[in-house]
């Protein structure tokens, strides 16, 4: 039997020069409307005029235990076999539960389509044999994309040789599939999500520590 | 998705239809229109997307790209991994190229000015009317004021060669480029030291001192990427910049040097390297001339002295000199790019060139290299001779050693305003925007008012087009056929790239090649343009047929392989045939043969020095109105340090007035420690006059409005960092 794919992105934030190529590439590829983004770059520093010293790119983390999926009342958002968390535009009713349920603020409501939208690692490009737009366009190759279940892949090799961490939200662990190099500073963009009352998450989803965790 | 499902009338599709109906009745609320949501059959079929090679034109780098074309519409621009120069990347601007093509602000038809200059009243012309009018003006001005009475200015573009050719056939040698607002003093300095402008092998360099250059924001391919690769190999980066740029953020050491004192730093570095005998003795003996003069000259420039000038501690200057020499020859002072800063800019860059020579990094891995360049053929024309033309260019004699083929915008503008030594009454600009990039905008406006006729060929209504009498719409780089262009990237690559139309030209836009060809026909100069771009390319490819195959298959022709050790034993193209630490040509012309330090003017109380630059999503004034990039920076702001801001009672984001002797602008403040307390900073590309740039009109301030127009004495390059300003609450 063919091994299931597990798509991940490994980010070496120390290489990000904040050039915003990934933001524009994503916006064009996925027709993201003005004022909204599927990916972003967080900045270390800059408050009250302080020096900005590090830049951290990110996007939807295609979590193993996605709180957005649990929060969707109509099963419009679901996790595929290849690990991607996607939205069925025909099923989505635009209720917005998944948007507040995401600890990474990775989702937005597309005002034209009036449904939720977020990064899907450019699934359309993957189907055409291309890597995600943000990955290929990067001048310093900050992001590395691949199938973690393929031992020959660059990401699997990196996971062996490089100490990686995940950015986890306070109180919950959705087991994200974006990994950062160890030493990446934990910024405040992972938040406690607002979850609907009736969702059913695994026991180890709830946690008490807020930290960058070992992958 | 099962086929049957796509055919079903889904709830969403029903909504889409009713939404469309609703939209027809509620036009004031465009958000009500719903988009098609169901996937159509075949959407995931890779064959639906055609891939076409091209070269990016969102800046000067010409990075390789692959356009993803669907139904004759460019859906996306992807990087071309085959381009060794761009190393498989496309920056934010490159990705925003689709918006240059599909931009509602594009010029659509020829326009003739109807109101006063800059008033924005236009009349649509047919191409025949526009070309007849331009030809009449060219003819009349040529007859009345000689052919040199018509000035031509073409920016960096693969078709600019045709504008130059047209000027030659027409008979004017008053041709200027954008470069005198950019990098000519750097080129001057390295040419006058090495006889050539070398490229830095950043990738293999172990120790880079980067004075002023901002390579992680002002992207140069492949240097920007190579700098990051070198960092991974533990190369050391030392940045000197009054600003904490993103390059400074990635540096091992950042020194907020006092603006205008870089030469003091490098003379002191030379002092230490020579005094402590750390230089490459064999190299200096065999390859350089004037070492003894240099040894004597730099004795006065001690690290202690430089500390006072630069604000960099003497112990650090000494240590850096020793570290640099220890890493040599894989060590360098990065030559940089834009050098339009000070009146002694060429001499400042000479000090960089001289330190490099002491390190012996010439033609060595990790040093300054001259890679093999591909030399396409060309089609030379035998230009007619016009007897009544004046003896020289209009800007001749205003700088000590100007590049005739580039000219000086600053000096030409002065000459036009003065009408001396002879009047200039016509001006054609192509893809350059001196209204935004040439310091002292009021003077550019004054110059334009001296003209009888000005025509501008551009994609959008730039500020320069806004002031013109005739505006002609050009296609974007994605819609036209260009000649081949050879590039020299850096250490590991040079090559050739070209463009064919990815999609047909939109509106009534016409390439400048077609425009000058049509003008030539009307001026009885048709014989000089009796060819097509295809013919031109054939001539270019004559001696390099292998290039055509690579362009077809890979979209780029790369020359790779080692690019060091290629010039062993070859003489330098200088007077002494060696690297000129001491330049005898300078001496003969009354120019300091070695860089002599002059203190920058003291900044009086309540004044600041203003410096300018850009970030990774700005190409001077050419990209800021692009809506994809505009979203990243909607207006520029004045960076000011918290200390002086507090003294002036200026808060972050507050509107302020910045004033110099050249002009006064209103702009918001960005209060930040990322600049020195005595230095303020602005991005280029905002504060436009043109109402045709709908996103940025009324946003931020224009650097050219507030910068004074000083010039580098040797090259005539604009000196933009000599300006002092006051800052006050609005």
Span B319-354, pLDDT tens digits = 999 999 999 999 999 999 999 999 999 999 999 999
Q: How far apart are CA B304 and CA B317, in angstroms?
A: 9
Residue with the two structure tokens 């650097």: B703
Least confident of B492-496, B531-535, B722-726: B492-496
Least confident of B492-496, B644-648, B654-658: B492-496
What is the number of residues in chain A?
Answer: 215
Q: How far apart are CA B254 and CA B257, in angstroms?
A: 9
Cis, bond preceding B329 (omega within 30 deg of 0): yes
Residue A86, SS3 per DSSP = strand
Top pLDDT among B491 and A101 is at: A101
Q: How far apart are CA B153 and CA B133, in angstroms?
A: 19
E strand residue ranges, B507-547? none
Residue A3: the pLDDT is 67
At A189, is the pLDDT very low, low, confident or very high (cuts 50, 70, 90)? Answer: low
Percent of chain B with pLDDT over 70: 94
Following DSSP, what letter does each residue of B624-675 receive, concatenated?
A: TTSHHHHTT-SS-EEEE-HHHHHHTT--TT-EEEEE-SS-EEEEEEEE-TTB
Top pLDDT among A189 and A208 is at: A189
Per the rule left: phi > 0, alpha: psi between -120 and 50, beta: everything else, B665 is beta
At B44, is the pLDDT very low, low, confident or very high (cuts 50, 70, 90)? Answer: low
**B222, B85 contact by CB (below 8 A):** yes
Whether residues A90 and B11 touch (CB distance < 8 A) is answered with yes
Question: Residue A131: its chain B contacts at CB < 8 A?
Answer: none
Q: Which two tokens stand for residue B412?
A: 């030409």
Residue in chain B lying closest to A141 (CA): B89
B520 touches A at CB < 8 Å: no
Q: How far apart are CA A213 and CA B289, in angstroms?
A: 60
Measured in angstroms, the CA of A206 and the nearest CA of chain B are apart by: 35
Residue B45: the pLDDT is 64
Percent of chain A with pLDDT over 90: 76
pLDDT surpasses 90 at A211:
no
- Chain A and chain B share a number of CB contacts under 8 A equal to 124
At B698, is the pLDDT very low, low, confident or very high (cuts 50, 70, 90)? Answer: very high
Q: Which two tokens stand for residue B427?
A: 């001006």
Q: How far apart are CA B345 and CA B432, in angstroms?
A: 23
Residue with the two structure tokens 């690990």: A83
pLDDT surpasses 90 at A124:
yes
Angle at B33 between CA B32 and CA B36, to 5 degrees: 135
Q: Which two tokens stand for residue B32?
A: 């009500």
Q: Which two tokens stand for residue A185?
A: 């500073």
pLDDT surpasses 90 at B41:
no
B676 touches A at CB < 8 Å: no
Least confident of A210-214, B194-198, B488-492, B714-718: A210-214
Residue in chain A lying closest to B90 (CA): A137
Which candidate from B87, B617, B627 shows the least CB-CB separation from A20? Answer: B617
- Indicate the burial class of B677 (C-beta count within 10 angstroms; 0-12, 13-18, 19 or more): middle
A133 touches B at CB < 8 Å: yes
pLDDT surpasses 60 at B697:
yes
Q: How far apart are CA B153 and CA B429, in angstroms?
A: 5
pLDDT averaged over every residue in chain B? 93
> Sheet containing A178-181: which strands, arranged edge to edge?
A143-147, A7-11, A178-181, A164-167, A212-214
Q: How far apart are CA B86 and CA B642, in angstroms?
A: 38
B628 touches A at CB < 8 Å: yes
Question: Residue A19: its chain B contacts at CB < 8 A?
Answer: 91-92, 216-217, 219, 616-617
Which candidate from A18, A51, A138 shows the least CB-CB separation from B244? Answer: A51
At B18, is the pLDDT very low, low, confident or very high (cuts 50, 70, 90)? Answer: very low
Q: Which two tokens stand for residue B413?
A: 């503008």
Question: Residue B669: its chain A contacts at CB < 8 A?
Answer: none
Residue A201: the pLDDT is 67
pLDDT surpasses 80 at B681:
yes
What's the average model confidence in pLDDT over A45-64?
94
Q: What secondary structure letter does DSSP report for B66?
A: E
Smallest CA-to-CA distance from B186 within B356, B395, B366, B360 is with B356
Chain B interface mutation, best of A25, A57, A110, highest count of B Cβ atoms under 10 Å = A25
What's the average model confidence in pLDDT over B573-594?
98
Chain B interface mutation, best of A15, A16, A24, highest count of B Cβ atoms under 10 Å = A24
Whether residues B33 and A112 touch (CB distance < 8 A) is answered with yes
What's the average model confidence in pLDDT over B456-477?
98
What is the number of residues in chain B?
Answer: 730
pLDDT surpasses 70 at A207:
no
Whether residues B617 and A24 touch (CB distance < 8 A) is answered with yes
pLDDT surpasses 80 at A169:
no
Whether residues A24 and B87 touch (CB distance < 8 A) is answered with no
Q: How far apart are CA A74 and CA A85, in angstroms?
A: 15
A156-174 in b/e form (b: 16+ CB < 10 A) is bebbeeeebbbbbbeebbb
Smallest CA-to-CA distance from A8 within A77, A64, A54 is with A64
Least confident of B39-43, B52-56, B401-405, B614-618: B39-43
B359 touches A at CB < 8 Å: no
**B624, B696 contact by CB (below 8 A):** yes
pLDDT surpasses 70 at B32:
no
Q: How far apart are CA B334 and CA B318, in angstroms?
A: 19
B6 touches A at CB < 8 Å: no
Measured in angstroms, the CA of B83 and the nearest CA of chain A are apart by: 13
pLDDT surpasses 80 at B188:
yes
Measured in angstroms, the CA of B47 and the nearest CA of chain A are apart by: 9
Least confident of A172-186, B475-489, B641-655: A172-186
Q: Which two tokens stand for residue B554?
A: 């890979």
Residue B490: the pLDDT is 77
Q: What secondary structure letter does DSSP report for B528?
A: G
CB atoms within 10 A of CB A15: 21
Judged by CB atoms within 8 Å, which residues 228-287 of B form the interface with A? Answer: 228, 232, 244, 246, 249-250
Question: Which residues are B76's β-sheet partners?
Answer: B68
Measured in angstroms, the CA of A188 and the nearest CA of chain B are apart by: 21
Residue A209: the pLDDT is 41
Judged by CB atoms within 8 Å, which residues 90-109 of A form the interface with B? Answer: 90
Whether residues A51 and B673 touch (CB distance < 8 A) is answered with yes
Residue A2: the pLDDT is 60
Measured in angstroms, the CA of B564 and the nearest CA of chain A are apart by: 24
Whether residues A52 and B674 touch (CB distance < 8 A) is answered with yes
- Indicate the burial class of B21 (C-beta count within 10 angstroms; 0-12, 13-18, 19 or more): exposed
Residue A199: the pLDDT is 63
Cis, bond preceding B421 (omega within 30 deg of 0): yes
- Indicate the burial class of B7 (C-beta count within 10 angstroms; 0-12, 13-18, 19 or more): exposed
> Sheet containing B236-240: which strands, arranged edge to edge?
B253-255, B236-240, B207-211, B331-333
Q: How far apart are CA B680 and CA B608, in angstroms?
A: 6
Top pLDDT among A191 and A172 is at: A172
Top pLDDT among B180 and B31 is at: B180
Question: Which residues are A206's β-sheet partners?
Answer: A172
Percent of chain B with pLDDT over 90: 90
């Amino acid at each position: 039997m063919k091994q299931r794919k597990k798509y991940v992105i490994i980010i070496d934030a120390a290489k990000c020069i904040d050039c915003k190529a990934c933001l524009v590439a994503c916006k064009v590829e996925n027709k993201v409307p003005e004022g909204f983004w599927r990916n972003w770059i967080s900045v270390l520093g800059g408050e009250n005029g302080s020096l900005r010293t590090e830049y951290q790119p990110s996007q939807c983390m295609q979590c193993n235990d996605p709180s957005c999926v649990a929060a969707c009342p109509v099963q419009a958002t679901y996790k595929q076999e290849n690990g991607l968390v996607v939205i069925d535009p025909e099923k989505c009713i635009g209720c917005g539960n998944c948007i507040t349920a995401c600890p990474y603020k990775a989702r937005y409501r597309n005002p034209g389509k009036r449904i939720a939208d977020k990064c899907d690692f450019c699934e359309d490009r993957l189907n055409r044999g291309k890597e995600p737009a943000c990955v290929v366009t990067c001048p310093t190759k900050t992001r590395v994309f691949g199938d973690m279940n393929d031992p020959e892949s660059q990401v699997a090799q990196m996971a062996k040789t490089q100490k990686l961490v995940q950015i986890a939200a306070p109180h919950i662990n959705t087991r994200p599939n974006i990994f950062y190099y160890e030493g990446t500073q934990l910024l405040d963009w992972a938040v406690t999500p607002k979850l609907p009352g009736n969702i059913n998450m695994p026991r180890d989803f709830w946690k008490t520590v807020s930290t960058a965790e070992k992958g | 998705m099962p086929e049957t499902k796509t055919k079903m009338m889904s709830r969403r599709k029903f909504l889409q239809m009713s939404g469309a109906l609703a939209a027809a009745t509620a036009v004031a609320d465009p958000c009500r229109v719903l988009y098609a949501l169901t996937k159509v059959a075949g959407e995931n079929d890779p064959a639906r997307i055609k891939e076409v090679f091209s070269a990016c034109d969102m800046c000067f780098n010409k990075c390789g790209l692959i356009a993803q074309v669907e139904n004759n519409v460019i859906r996306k621009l992807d990087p071309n991994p085959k381009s060794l120069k761009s190393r498989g990347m496309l920056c934010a601007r490159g990705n925003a190229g689709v918006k240059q093509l599909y931009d509602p602000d594009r010029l659509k038809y020829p326009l003739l000015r109807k109101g006063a200059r800059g008033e924005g009243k236009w009349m649509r012309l047919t191409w025949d009317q526009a070309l007849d009018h331009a030809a009449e003006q060219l003819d009349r001005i040529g007859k009345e004021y000689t052919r040199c009475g018509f000035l031509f200015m073409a920016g960096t573009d693969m078709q600019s060669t045709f504008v130059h050719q047209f000027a030659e056939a027409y008979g004017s040698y008053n041709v200027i480029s954008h470069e005198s607002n950019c990098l000519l003093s750097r080129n001057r300095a390295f040419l006058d030291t090495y006889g050539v402008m070398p490229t830095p092998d950043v990738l293999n360099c172990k120790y880079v001192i980067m004075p002023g250059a901002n390579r992680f924001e002002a992207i140069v391919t492949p240097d920007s990427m190579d700098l990051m690769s070198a960092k991974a190999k533990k190369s050391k980066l030392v940045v000197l910049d009054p600003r904490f740029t993103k390059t400074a953020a990635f540096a091992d050491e950042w020194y907020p040097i006092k603006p205008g004192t870089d030469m003091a730093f490098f003379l002191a570095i030379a002092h230490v390297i020579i005094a402590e005998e750390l230089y490459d003795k064999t190299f200096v003996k065999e390859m350089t001339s004037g070492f003894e003069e240099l040894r004597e000259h730099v004795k006065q420039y001690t690290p202690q002295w430089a500390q006072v000038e630069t604000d960099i501690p003497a112990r650090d200057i000494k240590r850096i000199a020793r570290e640099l020499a220890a890493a040599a020859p894989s060590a360098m002072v990065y030559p940089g790019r834009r050098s339009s800063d000070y009146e002694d800019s060429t001499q400042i860059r000479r000090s960089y060139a001289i330190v490099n020579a002491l390190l012996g990094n010439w033609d060595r891995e990790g040093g300054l290299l001259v890679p093999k360049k591909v030399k396409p053929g060309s089609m030379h024309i035998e230009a007619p001779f016009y007897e009544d033309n004046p003896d020289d260019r209009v800007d001749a004699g205003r700088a000590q050693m100007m590049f005739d083929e580039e000219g000086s915008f600053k000096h030409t503008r002065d000459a036009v305003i003065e009408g001396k030594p002879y009047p200039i009454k016509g001006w054609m600009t192509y893809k350059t925007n001196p209204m935004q990039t040439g310091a002292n905008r009021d003077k550019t406006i004054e110059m334009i008012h001296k003209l009888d006729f000005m025509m501008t060929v551009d994609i959008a209504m730039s500020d320069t087009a806004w002031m013109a009498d005739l505006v002609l719409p050009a296609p974007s780089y994605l819609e036209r056929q260009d000649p081949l262009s050879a590039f020299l990237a850096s250490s590991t690559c040079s090559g050739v790239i070209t463009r064919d139309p990815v999609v047909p030209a939109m509106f009534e836009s016409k390439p400048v090649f077609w425009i000058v060809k049509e003008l030539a026909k009307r001026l009885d100069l048709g014989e000089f343009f009796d060819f097509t771009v295809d013919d031109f390319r054939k001539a270019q490819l004559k001696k390099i047929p292998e290039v055509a195959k690579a362009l077809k298959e890979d979209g780029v022709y790369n020359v790779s392989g080692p690019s060091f050790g290629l010039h062993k034993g070859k003489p330098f193209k200088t007077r002494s045939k060696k690297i000129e630490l001491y330049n005898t040509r300078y001496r003969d012309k009354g120019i300091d043969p070695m860089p002599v330090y002059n203190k920058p003017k003291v900044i009086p109380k309540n004044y600041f020095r203003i410096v300018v630059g850009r970030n990774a999503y700005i190409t001077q004034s050419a990209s800021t109105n692009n809506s994809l990039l505009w979203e990243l920076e909607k207006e520029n702001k004045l960076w000011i340090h918290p200390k002086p801001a507090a003294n002036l009672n200026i808060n972050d984001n507050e509107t302020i007035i910045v004033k110099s002797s050249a002009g006064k602008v209103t702009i918001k403040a960005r209060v930040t420690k990322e600049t020195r307390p005595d230095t303020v900073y602005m991005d280029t590309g905002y504060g436009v006059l043109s109402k045709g740039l709908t996103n940025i009109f009324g946003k931020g301030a224009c650097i050219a409005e507030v910068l004074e127009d000083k010039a580098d004495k040797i090259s005539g390059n604009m000196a933009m960092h000599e300006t002092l300003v006051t800052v006050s609450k609005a």
